[in-house]
Amino acid sequence: MREEKKGYNRMLLLVAGLGGLLYGIDVGIIAGALPYMEATSGLNAGQLSFIVAAVLLGSVISTLFAGMLSDLLGRKPMMIASGVLFVASIPMIALAQGFGPLVMGRLLQGISAGLIGVTVPLYLAECLGASSRGKGTGIFQWLLTLGIVVAAVIGFYFSIKVEEVEKLHDAAKIFAFKDNAWRSIFWMSLPPGILFVLGSFMVSESPRWLFRRGKVEAARTALSRSRSPEQVELELVEMQKIASEEMSRTSTAGEVIRESLFQRRYVIPFLLACVILACNQATGINSIIGYNATILIQAGLSDKEAHLGYLFLTVVNFVMTIGAIMLVDRKGRKFLLSLGSAGIIVALLCVGSIFNKTEKLRVDCREAVQQRVNPVEQSAVIPYNETAASALLASAGEAGKAIAGLPTTLIVIYSYGDFRAATKVVRSTDLGAALTIDRGSCVPTSAVEAFFKNPFADLKAAKTAPLKIENALLTPIPSSGNGWFTAIFIFVFVAFFAVGPGVCVWLALSELMPTRIRSNGMSIALLINQAVSTTIAAVFLPTVGRFGYSTMFFAFAGFTVIYFITAFFFLPETKGRTLEEIGEHFERKR
């Protein structure tokens, strides 16, 4: 291949990879910022959970229209648009004062991520040859993991600085520095977005999109930038063959049959892609990355150790993705997905079992906390230190005596009428730790917000309902050794995810869909993927507050069993085949 074609291919992979970098930053940046946002924003667990989930909700919104817009406007313009939206979201978040601007900024990031998630894999699948498609899409995932590493390095840097400020034992300075820390973390993610926008202007439009729009010469020119003349003509012939076959399918009246996702020849690949993408998120990957520092703190690590553990996790993800890129075009998608999902199941069960050993010692002190509720304002402020923990445990009888004297965490689940919320988790060893519970932290301010929080709730009644403490859960803090033991199995989880689902899911998304329905089919499949991820992120903190981390990890393992069965028994191998050949495979199956 001539040197200029190699250079263009490298640029193509770099620009598309920058899209993966932005997607990774979208997913990973909140993990480092969340502990400081939690400490300074005044938001409760439900609001923080929604801020984490807002990126995923934005992805759902944009994913719904990404395929249609990519068909209408082209792949290249949508890549540019996604980068511009990401760049615009950063100042909105970093300068935010309050819940509303934070949610809007994160929604904008999510919309950007949804466009990237559909358009970039679609663009790569349509621009790269069959022999390099796996490697090219792998690079998208590789730089995605690099984005998560970058976010983790930034978070770890600020955790070191926070530890230095905490030695001053000045609560006001600690608060001010933590508030500045999470804002700075978001500012530092701006440069990759600018580079992606600039790079997107430099690549050609997808040749397959151009061909379907009747721009044959433009398609030939786009192919010529990365292919030999022989390859160009061969692929154009295949495109023409598929287009002719589609036009020849006529009804008895001589009208062209409308191509639908629900035609029998499309149903199997469409359903396979949907199941794989839904299960990909049901492994809990985004929540485990997004809440990783919080998870490791609850497992027994200090703030600095938890951020260091998160940094290790992102490095493992990054390194194992390199291995997956080397294997994906050799071993194939089916083998790696089956291997990866099997390893994930084992790792999740181990993490769930470790958490279960500690969480079964939980003590519920809801009655003691209920007595501290202000009867007039129906609110409560609960300082939490070793003395307060001892008093609460003393009220719990024998169960409280079993963990008396140990450092503990406290989380309160409460309700006003039909609306429930959970506080953040505080440690008895934290300086100045306290929980504030009031109506504004639980009851929505509008009917729209109320509908998304609980469509069956009575908002009017909740505005005057009394505060009810449903649970006040005290859990002993495990040792640092327990925390690192938990971290190791989370590293194993991420390693298997990187080798299998991490790389192969994007290939499954772009390869399984026949050319005719690829953009719309990818949008719907990715919409399901993001809907699952959004739901998990939104319920994660309240669920672990009430039922514990072990319950969530066991649930993730159960969903991954479905993933393994689908990959091992139903997924066809697609390595080394052109997109047109994969479509013909499902046509023969029909």
pLDDT digits (tens, 9 = 90+) for 267-318: 777 778 778 888 888 898 878 877 787 788 888 888 778 878 888 888 888 8
| Neighbouring C-alpha atoms within 13 Å toward the C-beta of 289 | 31
Q: How confident is the model at residue 589 (pLDDT cuts 50, 70, 90)?
A: low
89 Cβ partners below 8 Å, 6+ apart? Answer: 105, 106, 108, 109, 112
Average of per-residue pLDDT across 439-465:
80
Q: Output phi, psi for 450, to 5 deg.
A: -65, -40
Partnered with residue 469 across adjacent β-strands are 414
Residue 242 has pLDDT above 70, yes or no: no
Question: Rounded CA gap, 550 and 360, in Å?
Answer: 10
The 3-state DSSP class for residue 583 equals helix
CA-to-CA distance for 176 and 138, rounded, in angstroms? Answer: 41
Dihedral sign (CA 451, 457, 460, 463): negative
Q: How confident is the model at residue 560 (pLDDT cuts 50, 70, 90)?
A: very high
Instruction: Give per-residue pLDDT as tens, 527-552.
Output: 777 678 767 866 776 777 778 889 99
Which whole number is the average pLDDT over 7-15? Answer: 75
Residue 195 to residue 337: CA distance in whole angstroms: 32
Neighbours of 230 (CB within 10 A): 8
What pairing do the DSSP bridges indicate for beta strands 467-476 and 426-427?
unpaired
Going by C-alpha positions, the residue among 1, 8, 321 that lies closest to residue 142 is 321
Res 264 pLDDT > 80: no
**Residue 67's pLDDT band (cuts 50, 70, 90):** confident
Q: CA 144, CA 21: separation in Å to the nearest integer? A: 4
Which of 17-31, 476-490, 551-565 is the least confident region?
17-31
Mean pLDDT across the stretch 219-242?
76
Q: Cα-Cα-Cα-Cα dihedral of 46, 51, 53, 55, to 10°? A: 170
CA 60 to CA 67: how far, in whole Å? 12
Output the average pLDDT for the chain: 79
pLDDT bucket at 442, cuts 50 / 70 / 90? confident
Residues 236, 495: contact at Cβ < 8 Å? no
**Residue 252: is its pLDDT beyond 50?**
no
Three-state SS for 379?
A: strand
User: Cα separation of 496 and 339, whole Å?
Assistant: 8
Structure confidence at residue 2 as a pLDDT band (50, 70, 90)? low
CA 206, CA 118: separation in Å to the nearest integer?
14
HSE (side-chain half, CA atoms, 13 Å) at 9: 18
Range list of β-strands (E), 398-556: 408-416, 419-422, 426-427, 434-437, 467-476
pLDDT of residue 101: 86
CATH 1.20.1250.20 spans which residues of the chain? 3-207+262-358+482-589
pLDDT, position 258: 47
**How many residues can be counted in the chain?**
590
> How confident is residue 99, by pLDDT bands cut at 50, 70 and 90?
confident
Res. 559: pLDDT tops 50: yes
Instruction: Give the pLDDT confidence of 149-203 residue by residue, as tens digits.
Output: 777 777 778 878 877 887 777 778 888 888 888 888 888 878 888 888 888 888 8
CA distances from 97 to 111, 173, 179 (A): 21, 19, 11
Residue 66 has a pLDDT of 79
Model confidence pLDDT, tens digit, residues 353-408? 999 988 888 888 989 999 999 999 999 999 998 889 999 998 888 888 888 888 88
* Confidence label for 27 from pLDDT (cuts 50, 70 and 90): low
CATH for the stretch 3-207+262-358+482-589 = 1.20.1250.20
Residue 454 has pLDDT above 50, yes or no: yes
The pLDDT score that the predictor gives to residue 255 is 43
